[in-house]
Structure 1
Amino acid sequence: MNTPLRQPNEGTGLFGEQYSRRNCPQATRDGEPMGRWIALDESGWDGDQLHGEDRSRYLTIGSVAMSDEDAADLIDGLRRTTRIQAPELKFGTSFAKDGQSQRRKALAALLGPGGALEGRASVYVLDKHYFIVGKLIDLFVEELTYKQGLDIRNTGVARKMARDLFTEGPRALGPALFNRLLVATVAFASYKNRDQQVSVDDFYDVVEEAWARSSRRNVTSLLGLLRTTRAEAREYLDDAFGPNASLLAALEPLIPGVAAVTGNWSRRVGRVNILTDDQRTLTDQHLDDIADDARGLGHPEFRYISRDVSLGELLRGKSSHHPSLQLADLVAGAGFAVAKRHAGHLTPAGEDLYPVIVPLIDPAGMLSHDDPSRVAQAGASALAG
């Protein structure tokens, strides 16, 4: 018996039922009443494993407000200027290497003042360590306070808690113990713990030690509240990994990142259509969830996300078929090089591009501060953010 060849879903390189619906095989075109097409791609993604010596500190999502129809001319022009022969433009292979400074100058000219992408490109920067701290509050403390009738999410209290713990935690606990708290959070809450080898007691042993050793009042108070959330942690395990699991990819940063970029662009330009690269974590269900939240159809707690957001299509595509996604890849890759520079990993690409990339950083990104210009600092420590 012959086994049928497995075919990817139309318009992507992905296989399976999870990628059967939200695909875009045709070139995108802007026009009323459709709205503006926004193409986006990521760099630095490594799933929900957010901490470790071999992990990049930042995730960047590059986006361009440009359809395939318009992007094709830019890609052709950039190809002629740089004499790149590869069938597809990728930042990592064609712009990131030491001997490619002239190509980076051409890219900078597109992104900088007077360039064809001026006002049409954005870099969303997500600090994975800050994201972990935010999830520590979101998954446990916020669940506890919600049961008590308190809304710490929409009032900004949860955000302040996360920022206080992130900025003061390393001093209050010492860098080593603070990092252990981040590692314990990832080990407990990530998909790798679906077999629940890391127990509630294992996780709270680290929380208890952090609380006992804290030397700053704000951090001690917050950790004291976290100590009372064991019931919420048990509920989390049931919701995430139990027989009736409903909590999908809670520690996956790309999904809320795409949602945030969608909302930020819509609040800026009006109705948008989103084309994402065919990243495996962006299943039909996850894209459905993002679209529901953007349209105010998600869980009532999250409907604030849909404020002033108008979303048309939310689709995925293969970058080789969509020149707008190739531009988004270049923006994401350049943003990642600059983010690595901020984390202390200096490269020629980061040095060449940070002057044009830093002004493109979304001020509503997932950073522990509201000043994207700080990303221009090279070799910033965790405490500097």
Structure 2
Amino acid sequence: MVCFRIDESGYTGFDLLNPEQRFQGATAIAINDDDAAALIRHHFPRLQAPELKYSSLSRRPSNHDRLLGLLRDMLAEYRSVTYVCDKRFLLTLMFLDYAAEPYYYERGVNFYENGRNFTLGSILFQAGPSLLGDGLFDQLIAAFQRAMKEKTPEALGDLVGAARRTNWRELPEALGPIANAAPECLATIATPGVTTDAAMVVLQGLIGRMEMMSDGPYRVEHDQSKNLETYHGLIQKLIAHDAKVEFRSSEIATLKFPLKLTGVVQVNSVASPAVQLADVLVGATLEMANTLAHLRKGGLDPERGTPLYREDQIIYLAPSMDVTEQRRFRAGSQGGEMIDYFSANFGTHT
């Protein structure tokens, strides 16, 4: 049976505004321990550490050529996918999901039709900082994140106040409902269990692609890190779900239950070269994303690294202002149905 090794990076729980961790990602690679060990020996024959750790190796520029060679061989020879999420943009989409969509739902409007939410989220994310007033967009999404976490009348009132202080009439489709304290939006934000934690969003994208890459049953192994404990529990819930249902998110993204995924196991990464390579793949991808966003310097050169990925090996959640292309790409999206289904069956956002 095929086994995908997975790893994550950039997970900060509910806090999607952590300035040190702009991106969150996860990788899945179908490679066995023998092949992984051979690749490590080939590219790092003098490695003295008990395991290959991307964060340690990337600090030394002298390792960059070897890391790029390892990345090239992994991407060329083994099935893999890496999901990268701009957490500030995801928080903006979540704002629309909870602080706007319930208002439209009550009035019979499909907020997700043909990716309408994604287009509006992209406009809000890109234009909001200038249209809404100096620093007011940042205050708004921070107030939203706090309200989603605390769920108190005070936090909800602060969110409404933050919306009203903006030039919200410049984007009334996005901010009008919460600026007018729409009760259906406030009730949704206050719902117990509803959170801004991005783990399920990232995991859903990763599993959706693993399902496409697998002809039959497969399993997953991952490290025993604290952050992956959250992923582990969510994967177990998804595996156990035996209802027959399918959702379409975009032209290339669908999720069908029951999953082909049959099991998930935690392992000690020191004893698993394959899990170590998952760490390298996700670490390299997020480091290059941070470099491209001008948030960090000194890591792998994205001009050399990004061409190594095939289009189907990367999923990148980021804003797009190409409205026509996004309408085509997301035609027939069942985003609303998927959110409702996951909330009802898994107690979480997708």
Name 1:87's counterpart in structure 2.
Answer: 50
Seen in structure 2, the aligned counterparts of structure 1 residues 220 and 231 have a Cα distance that, compared at 3 Å, is closer
Query: What does residue 257 of structure 1 align with?
Result: 202
Pairwise CA distance, 1:96: 1.8
Pair 251,329 (structure 1): closer, same or farther in 2 beyond 3 Å? same
- 1:85-123 CA distance string (max 9 Å, x none): 110111111x221xx2332211211222xx244153433
Shift of 1:198: 4.5
CA distance in 2, matches of 1:104, 1:300: 40
User: In the alignment, which of 3, 7, 10 is matched to residue 44 of structure 1?
Assistant: 10
Residue deviations 1:226-256, cap 9 Å, x none?
Answer: 435642344335422xxxxxx25x2111232
User: Are 2:102 and 2:185, in contact at CA under 8 Å, matched by a contact in 1?
Assistant: no
Q: Which residue of 1 aligns with 2:270?
A: 320
Tell me the alpha carbon deviations over residues 183-242 of structure 1, each in whole angstroms, 9 at most, x when there is no partner: 11221113xx26x385211111011222xx1474xx2332113435642344335422xx
Give the aligned residue type for 2:65.
K
Tell me, in whole angstroms, the C-alpha distance in 2 between the residues paired with 1:348 and 1:174.
34
With the length of structure 2 as denominator, give the TM-score of the two structures. Answer: 0.77
Offset of 1:341 from its aligned partner?
A: 0.9
Amino acid at match of 2:47: I
Q: Is the 8 A contact 1:38 1:66 kept in 2?
A: yes
Among 260, 268, 273, which residue is 2:219 paired with?
Answer: 273
Q: What's 1:207 paired with? A: 163
**Is the partner of 1:222 in helix, strand or coil?**
helix
Q: Offset at 1:330?
A: 0.8
Task: Quote the offset at 1:327 in angstroms.
Answer: 0.4
Q: Give the % identical residues.
A: 21
Count how many residue pairs are aligned between Structure 1 and Structure 2. 312
Extract unaligned runs of 5+ from structure 2.
323-350
Secondary structure (helix, strand or coil) at the match of 2:5 reads strand
| Aligned-partner Cα distance in 1 for 2:286–2:176 | 36
CA gap 1:370/1:316 in 2 versus in 1, 3 angstroms: farther
Matched, 1:64 2:14: no
Could you say if the C-alpha distance between residues 237 and 146 of structure 1 is closer, same or farther in structure 2, counting changes exceeding 3 Å? Answer: closer
- The amino acid that maps onto 1:369 is S
The structure richer in helix per residue is 2
Task: Determine if contact 1:338/1:354 at 8 Å carries over to the other structure.
Answer: no
Match of 1:15 in 2: none
Question: What does 1:28-39 align with in structure 2 at a 5 Å threshold?
Answer: 34=1, 36-39=2-5
Aligned-partner Cα distance in 2 for 1:370–1:60? 23
Q: 2:23–2:87: 8 Å Cα contact kept in structure 1? A: yes
TM-score (norm 1): 0.70
For residues 109 and 267 of structure 2, the distance between their equivalents in structure 1, rounded to whole angstroms, comes to 41
Distance 1:267 1:204, change over 3 A: same
SS of aligned partner of 2:262? strand
Q: Which amino acid aligns with 1:277?
A: D
Deviation at 1:133, TM superposition (A): 0.4
RMSD: 3.2
Shift of the 256–67 alpha-carbon distance from structure 1 to 2, 3 Å rule, reads farther
Which residue, out of 284, 288, 292, partners 2:236?
288
CA distance in 2, matches of 1:153, 1:276: 33
| Counterpart contact for 2:8–2:279, Cα < 8 Å | yes
* CA separation of 1:180 and 1:292: change in aligned 2, threshold 3 A: farther
Residues 187, 198 of structure 1: 8 Å contact kept: no
In structure 2, relative to structure 1, the CA distance for the partners of 1:300 and 1:344 (3 Å cut) is closer
Find runs of 4+ consecutive structure 1 residues off by over 6 angstroms: 298-302
Amino acid corresponding to residue 220 of structure 2 in structure 1 = I
Matches of 1:205 and 1:337, distance apart in 2: 37
Report the CA distance shift for 1:155/1:310 in structure 2 as closer, same or farther (over 3 A). farther
Partner of residue 43, structure 2:
78
Q: Could you say if the C-alpha distance between residues 358 and 126 of structure 1 is closer, same or farther in structure 2, counting changes exceeding 3 Å?
A: farther
Deviation at 1:164, TM superposition (A): 2.0
Q: Secondary structure at the match of 1:348?
A: coil
- Partner deviation per Cα, 1:119-150 (whole Å, 9 max, x = no partner): 53433211011010011112232233334444
